[in-house]
Amino acid sequence: MVRPMRPVPLGLAHTLGFDPTAEDTAAAVGNAGVEAVATVTLILWIEATCAPLLHPYLEEGEAGVGVRVAVDHTGPAFAGRPVDVHAEATAVSGRKVVFSVRLEQDGREVMTGEHTRAVVDLERFLDGRAAPRVRPERPPVAFYFDVHSPWSYLAATRIGALCRRYGAELLWRPVHLANLIETIGGLRPMEQTPARVAWYERDVRDRFRENGLVHDPRPDYPLRPSRALRCFVYAAERGCAEAFVLAVMRGYWSERADITDPAWLQRMADAAGLGPRPMAGIAADEGYKAAVARNTAEAIERSVFGVPTFLFEGKLHFGSDRLDMLERALAAAPAGG
């Protein structure tokens, strides 16, 4: 059985610039007299632009490979002037991701179309005789998080792959962090001394950069998280938590998105394949409000004092920088637990 692919958010985009030389022209590959960049060269640049977009969403042992290119070469590009390649993920089907691509030189289109890449198990891809890997089952991991926490975003990009690697069910538990902190009298990082706040903000930026994430939150941060948290509960019920949470977190922390806007939440839900209920209805549903409150109360009862926190076999692991300890605990746990 082919295991599910890690969710890839629609709208994921990247632009790379290339500097063509005379060796990149059609004339250089045998088409005498055609001193324009060869079609095959432009296609290679498309692959080079799209491939890195998938890297953060690959699990151990996986790779992205090109399976289809459908492009129109709409104009010539010439050596000596940069060519910009724009790529955006527009569709996901099974383990295939479709990218819309557009190539420009001097602001003029030279190629447009689509490129499809598939996420493959590299060992099986290179050797069709390789036996599928067996993932032993482990006890579940409860993941307590809030959209307000940048560390929760960092953790959300990794925790799904980690649990799948060890066959552990991941329980997504959105909590209202401000209410939790108020109840227990906990630490508020942004209300510390100016020196500590400055260090904290720099550390967040550094950690995002190290993990290949853009740090560009809304200027009016923080926004009220309640609507997003309620929608997270619904997404978890529907088995779409990872894709939806990552889309919302990415929008909030990297794209200045308004997480209080039901229309924006709906777009993220549509991209994650979350349905059928409208997000506006979920966000206003007293039942989902109560579910977030229950998660928060449960977290407090289990001695959670901040997020992200991971609960595994009765032990708390706090912080995105403790995922290595969680992994060791998962590896040591007996299979079938």
With CA atoms as reference, report the closest residue to 87 among 57, 40, 47.
47
Considering 47, 62, 104, 242, which one is annotated as catalytic?
47
Considering 14, 35, 59, 73, which one is annotated as catalytic?
73
Burial 280-291 (b: 16+ CB within 10 A, else e): eebbebeebbeb
- CB-neighbour burial class of residue 191 (10 A; exposed 0-12, middle 13-18, buried 19+): exposed
176 belongs to the catalytic site: no
Q: Are 244 and 231 in contact (CB under 8 A)?
A: yes
- CB-neighbour burial class of residue 127 (10 A; exposed 0-12, middle 13-18, buried 19+): exposed
73 belongs to the catalytic site: yes
Q: Are 163 and 60 in contact (CB under 8 A)?
A: no
21 belongs to the catalytic site: no
Considering 14, 35, 39, 215, which one is annotated as catalytic?
39
Q: Are 289 and 234 in contact (CB under 8 A)?
A: no
Q: Which helix (H) or strand (E) holds 184?
A: helix 177-184
> Could you list the active site residues?
39, 47, 73
